[in-house]
Chains A and B, each alone.
Chain A
Amino acid sequence: SAVISQKPSRDICQRGTSLTIQCQVDSQVTMMFWYRQQPGQSLTLIATANQGSEATYESGFVIDKFPISRPNLTFSTLTVSNMSPEDSSIYLCSVEDQYNEQFFGPGTRLTVL
């Protein structure tokens, strides 16, 4: 199984600022995904990030708010821009392996004041 790390593990930010979350995987993967989990809620897919192409965003999420980079097959970043308290969530990245199994990182817990 893939081993995924995320940085930072948690952060407290002021409204109006931006935070970039990093996701690193220990093997090369084609497909990476970013999810958000609001307090007490299930996971919601933000976007799919494939290396060499623009990220594909789900309904309700836009690139200006959540820009994503995917510079290579082991790394991706998600930026939460112009943050408000409503952005307080856990942000998780995941990767899919060749067996159609998806593995998740530990998450980044974001609190916006």
Chain B
Amino acid sequence: DAKTTQPTSMDCAEGRAANLPCNHSTISGNEYVYWYRQIHSQGPQYIIHGLKNNETNEMASLIITEDRKSSTLILPHATLRDTAVYYCIVGGATNKLIFGTGTLLAVQP
């Protein structure tokens, strides 16, 4: 079973920040938090991952709470092309990824 809980769907206005939450209360000390997204009819795309520090790259920011039991993926300026299913996954280094049902983010014009 997936180790994460995410809302089924979210809406976001184009140009605004999209904040996608994820609960992973059973995360263990050596497990990373990964975020992927899947645009319709494509393979999943890696976004970002982190262990306990906040991370930022050209696509997004990852905010992990101090107790590591939850995290938020932030897309700073959502565009229509960011409409996708976003998966929050917990896994150890060099480990398999167990996908949950994800959050369908719909960016509205």
Report A's interface with B, CB cutoff 8 A. 1, 4, 30-31, 33, 35, 42-45, 48, 58, 92, 94, 96, 100-107
Q: Using Cβ atoms and an 8 Å threshold, which residues of chain A touch B34?
A: 102
C-beta contact mask, B71-87 vs A, less than 8 Å → 1, else 0?
A: 00000000000000001
Give the contacts of B30-70 with A (CB-CB under 8 A): 32, 34, 36, 42-46, 49
Q: Using Cβ atoms and an 8 Å threshold, which residues of chain B touch A92?
A: 43-44
- Chain B facing A: main interface SS: loop
Contact B96 A48 (CB under 8 A): yes
- A100 to chain B minimum Cβ distance, whole angstroms, is 5
Given contacts A31-B94, A100-B32, contact A43 B99 (CB under 8 A): yes
A29 and B43 alpha carbons, distance in the complex (Å):
19
Contacts between chains A and B (CB distance < 8 A), count: 48
Sampled A-B contacts (26; CB under 8 Å): A1-B46, A30-B94, A31-B94, A35-B99, A42-B87, A42-B100, A42-B102, A43-B44, A43-B97, A45-B96, A45-B98, A45-B99, A58-B96, A92-B43, A94-B44, A94-B97, A100-B32, A100-B49, A100-B94, A102-B34, A102-B36, A102-B46, A104-B43, A104-B45, A106-B42, A107-B42
Q: Using Cβ atoms and an 8 Å threshold, which residues of chain A touch B93?
A: 100
Q: Using Cβ atoms and an 8 Å threshold, which residues of chain B touch A1?
A: 46
Neighbour of B99 across the interface among A4, A44, A96, CB < 8 A: A44
A103 and B49 alpha carbons, distance in the complex (Å):
13
Neighbour of B46 across the interface among A43, A101, A105, A107, CB < 8 A: A101
